[in-house]
Amino acid sequence: MVEGGVEAQTKQVLENLTAILNNQGLGLDAVVKTSVFIKDMNDFQKINAVYGEYFKSEAPARACVEVARLPKDVLVEIEAIAVV
């Protein structure tokens, strides 16, 4: 797990997502929907700022929900649907 708080974890999640897409010959522009799961809704602004660094033009549709607990006690998890 990445140290440094929710911004660092969000950046790592999006870097991982980018790497997975790139491995399939895709980029973040192929993402049409994301679901963001966060431990504390008070962190939304911080997460959104990092998210905006990756989805610069048209951001995909997004759902964001606060959850009681995430695997390995991370602060943020993002799932994505991409279209080929």
| Gap between the terminal Cα atoms of the chain | 30
Q: Which of 2, 8, 21, 64 is catalytic?
A: 64
Model pLDDT for residues 1-44, shown as the tens digit of each residue: 898 999 999 999 999 999 999 999 999 999 999 999 999 999 99
CA angle 52, 40, 80 (to 5 degrees): 45
- pLDDT tens-place string over residues 33-68: 999 999 999 999 999 999 999 998 889 999 999 999
* The pLDDT value given to residue 7: 98
Q: What is the pLDDT of residue 44?
A: 98
Compute the 3-state secondary structure of the chain and give helix, strand, coil in percent, each to the nearest 5.
45, 25, 30
Q: Decide if 14 is catalytic.
A: no
Domain ranges of the chain: 5-82
Q: Which residue reads 């008070």 in tokens?
A: 42
Residue pointed to by tokens 């660094």: 53
Q: Does 5-82 carry CATH code 3.30.1330.40?
A: yes
* Percentage of residues in the chain having pLDDT higher than 70: 100
Arithmetic mean of pLDDT over the chain: 97
